[in-house]
Structures are given as structure tokens and as C-alpha cells.
């Protein structure tokens, strides 16, 4: 069924709010005055077997970077690397279970041995939980695994690869978060947002502590992105969302310009409103959520 003109206009407005005001953010927040040439850069990208990570791997390769593609599924990862190399790019697939800290340490050692370290680390892999807080707290294993994949694993990679960047006096760490970290008031996403908020805090302080030593950080506060990660969640059906390709372009923009953050317009507006009038935000959210809380549904917990 075709969409009405009003529906199409509404979706276009929603999508516009999801896109970042790139120029102001780059001009104000970036330490790289001249865009970074990605040709020859070694880029380690987690969650590279599908969605944003897959699209990001292909884009980095088109800019001449050597992509170290990391994910759990070897078959999918090898397929991504093969497409890149067939197109004339450079890619190495390195399967890793990022929930296993020993495996993460082994990955770092293997990367150092095979490619001599990385210039850009993109912490993209993650786990999403969409569930009321009370139910999340009753499923503690989900809480712990979310923190492991969204916070501990990225931190472990930074721990392993950061010293090499500091020794070389150059490096960039790109951390994927969510716009809900800035807006704060995001019902059903308490655990997920908390894990990303922890990563966001570390990401910001990398810039303050390591920036003068040549190692920079960027946090990407993504809105909803149409990826395999959200497909099982029926609540997202029909909702406006960025494409994986659009989201991947944020990664490349971040790598070339090194801003402190890239965030959608709606996140910046929500953060401002939450700062000056948190009770207004509470009232708006509560008004939208009148009625019984949603029942748990398949797809409420998804990993990429």
C-alpha cells in the first residue's frame, strides 16, 4: 500500500531530525584541521559481519584503508573480506567472541603480530536490550552480558591497542553509542543506554587525556538504524530509520575529521530540553507511554 503525502512528509521530517548538523559539529569539535587521508590506515572494526559494520568496512576499504574485520561469525566475516578484496581493497577477517576477555586479548596480540597494530579502532559491535527496567533487573545475565559487550569489550580493546597508538603519537578511537545517552529519558532502554553511557564517558576522556599525545576519540550517537539487529523487534516496523550506508558514512566522516562527537539533531535538542526542563521531558515521555507496559517480545535482546 502506497504511503500518503502526509505520511511521506512526516517520515522525511523524522529522518532529517536523525541526521547530524555535520558542519557545525566538525568545525567546533574536530582536532584535525586538515582531513585525515585514510589511504594505508589500519582500521579495526568490530561487528563487521553485517549492518553498519559491514557497510563501514566496505567504505573504509574504498578509501584505501586496510580493514581488520572482527565479528563472531567466521563465514559472514570471510564473505565481507572477500567482497572487499575482490573489489581491489584490503581486508583481513579475524573472528573473535568479544564477550570473552581472553579472546579479546588474543585478538590484540594477533593484530599486533599480523599487521603491526592499528591506526583507527572502531568499537561498533554491541548488544541491544529493549525491555522495561524491572524485567531487565530480573534477568541479570542479560544485564551482565550487555555490559560486557557494550562496555568491557571496547575498553579491553582500547587497553590493548591504545598503548601502541600512544607510542606512535597518532591514533583514533571511534566508539558507537546511542542518541539515548544524550536524551537520557528513554524508557525500555535503561540497561542498554547505561552500557553505552559508560562507553561514552570513557570516549570523551580519551580526548581530554590522550588528545595532546596524538590519540583522539569520537563518539557516534546513532538514532535508529535499519539493520539486521532491529529486524526481530516488531515495534520498529514502519519507523523512520537511517540506512546502514548512511550510518557507515558517519564512521568515515569521523575518521577523516576526528570530531569529539557526531549526534543527530533530535539528540542535541533532547539534551538541551532535558537540561533546562527535565520535568517537561518526564511529562512528555509519560504521556506517550500511557497504558500498560508492553509485554516481552522476541527480538527484545539482539547482538551484532
Hey, which residues are catalytic here? 192
93 beta partners: 69
What is the rounded CA–CA span in Å between residue 294 and residue 303?
21
Q: Which three cell numbers stand for residue 40?
A: 594505508
> The sheet that has 66-70: what strands, in order across it?
90-93, 66-70, 42-46, 120-123, 171-178, 215-222, 261-262
- Nearest to residue 162, comparing CAs of 221, 207, 219, 225? 207
Other Cβ atoms less than 10 A from the Cβ of 177: the count is: 26
β-pair type (120-123, 42-46): parallel
Helix, strand or coil for residue 224? coil
What is the rounded CA–CA span in Å between residue 245 and residue 220?
14
Q: Do the beta carbons of residue 121 and residue 42 sit within 8 Å?
A: no
Count helices and strands in the chain by DSSP H and E runs: 13, 11
**In this structure, what are the phi and psi dihedrals at residue 252, rounded to the nearest 5 degrees?**
-65, -45
| DSSP states along 86-153 | HTT-EEEE----TT-HHHHHHHHHHHHHHHS--SEEEE---EEE-S-HHHHHH-HHHHHHHHIIIIIH
Amino acid at each position: 500500500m502506497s504511503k500518503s503525502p502526509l505520511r511521506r512528509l512526516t517520515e522525511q521530517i523524522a529522518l532529517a531530525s536523525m541526521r547530524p548538523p555535520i558542519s557545525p559539529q566538525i568545525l567546533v569539535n574536530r582536532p584535525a584541521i586538515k582531513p585525515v587521508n585514510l589511504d594505508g590506515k589500519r582500521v579495526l572494526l568490530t561487528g563487521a559481519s553485517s549492518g553498519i559494520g559491514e557497510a563501514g568496512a566496505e567504505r573504509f576499504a574504498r578509501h584505501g584503508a586496510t580493514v581488520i574485520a572482527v565479528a563472531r561469525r567466521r563465514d559472514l566475516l570471510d564473505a565481507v573480506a572477500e567482497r572487499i578484496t575482490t573489489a581491489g581493497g584490503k581486508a583481513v577477517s579475524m573472528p573473535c567472541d568479544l564477550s570473552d576477555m581472553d579472546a579479546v586479548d588474543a585478538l590484540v596480540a594477533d593484530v599486533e603480530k599480523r599487521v603491526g597494530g592499528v591506526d583507527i579502532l572502531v568499537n561498533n559491535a554491541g548488544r541491544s536490550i529493549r525491555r522495561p527496567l524491572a524485567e531487565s533487573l530480573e534477568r541479570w545475565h542479560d544485564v551482565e552480558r550487555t555490559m560486557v559487550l557494550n562496555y568491557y569489550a571496547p575498553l579491553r580493546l582500547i587497553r590493548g591497542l591504545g598503548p601502541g597508538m600512544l607510542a606512535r603519537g597518532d591514533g583514533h578511537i571511534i566508539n558507537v553509542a546511542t542518541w539515548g545517552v544524550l536524551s537520557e529519558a528513554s524508557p525500555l532502554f535503561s540497561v542498554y543506554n547505561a552500557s553505552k553511557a559508560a562507553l561514552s564517558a570513557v570516549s570523551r576522556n580519551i580526548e581530554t587525556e590522550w588528545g595532546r599525545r596524538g590519540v583522539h576519540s569520537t563518539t557516534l550517537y546513532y538514532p535508529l538504524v535499519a539493520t539486521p539487529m532491529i529486524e526481530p523487534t516488531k515495534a520498529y516496523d514502519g519507523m523512520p530509520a537511517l540506512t546502514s550506508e548512511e550510518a557507515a558514512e558517519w564512521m568515515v566522516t569521523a575518521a577523516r575529521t576526528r570530531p569529539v562527537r557526531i549526534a543527530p539533531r533530535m539528540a542535541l535538542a533532547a539534551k538541551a530540553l532535558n537540561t533546562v526542563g527535565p520535568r517537561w521531558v518526564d511529562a512528555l515521555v509519560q504521556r506517550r507511554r500511557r497504558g500498560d507496559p508492553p509485554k516481552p517480545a522476541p527480538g527484545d535482546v539482539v547482538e551484532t
